[in-house]
Amino acid sequence: MKIAIISDIHSNLYALMEVLADIDNEKVSQIICLGDLVGYGCHPNEVIALIKQRDILCLKGNYDASVVDNAYSYIRNTDLNSFSLPWTYEELRASNRFYLSSLPETMTLEFEGKKIKFVHGSPLKINEYLTEDNENIDEIMANLEEDALVCAHTHIPYIKQFGSKLLVNDGSVGKPKNGQPDATYALLEIEKDQPIKAKIKNVPYEFTKIMKDMTMKRFPNRLISSYESGIE
């Protein structure tokens, strides 16, 4: 069976639509979202509506939690966030704030006898950047009781093996930080009594559409240009 993992959509409806179309072509059994539906981009309500419409199982991301709080609870107090956080809070419908607040922070699911732990940041913190060179990564994987850990938050995808345990970061659908504009997501192939297989998929989309929408809404130029450069 195939499982698709998406995350860090960040209010980018156009990227989400293209990724879901690509996932539909893959004929997956389930889609799981690791959070950060909102922030940065200009379509928070539309993104949440599509996630709800598709009945996608979803975690809460650090930006989602901060928007619910309307505070820098789990995000950095930067120039861009000083624009993005209040804008998103004001734009978001009350029902969608409630939806974000109700999402779990972690979950463990079993497929074909394999247990997989899903988190946004790390098993330790919702906003920990679990990069490949994170100083806690060996300890985290040594203490992992499940067969695999799937995380997000860094916006930089990778796949790494720790003995018999697998670590996957799915990257970002809506705001990549790996130096290119394409959306990324992860595919897991799971068969009974076989090691879990994982791959990262790049999905091109018309990023100029969201840049145009953000320009019309007078978003900061540095934030708008990041959608083309793939750099924070």
pLDDT above 90: residue 232: no
CA dist., res. 30 & res. 56, Å (int): 8
Percent of the chain exceeding pLDDT 70 equals: 100
Q: Which of 194, 193, 154 is nearest to 175 (CA)?
A: 154
CA dist., res. 50 & res. 155, Å (int): 21
Tens of pLDDT along 108-135?
A: 999 999 999 999 999 999 999 999 999 9
Instruction: Provide the number of structural domains found in the chain.
Output: 1
Measured CA distances, 163 to 96, 138, 142 (Å): 41, 11, 9
Domain encompassing residue 52: 2-229
CATH number at residue 71: 3.60.21.10
Tell me the pTM.
0.98
pLDDT above 90: residue 214: yes
Is 153 within 8 Å of 8 (Cβ atoms)?
Answer: yes
Bin 132: left if φ > 0, else alpha if -120 < ψ < 50, else beta: alpha
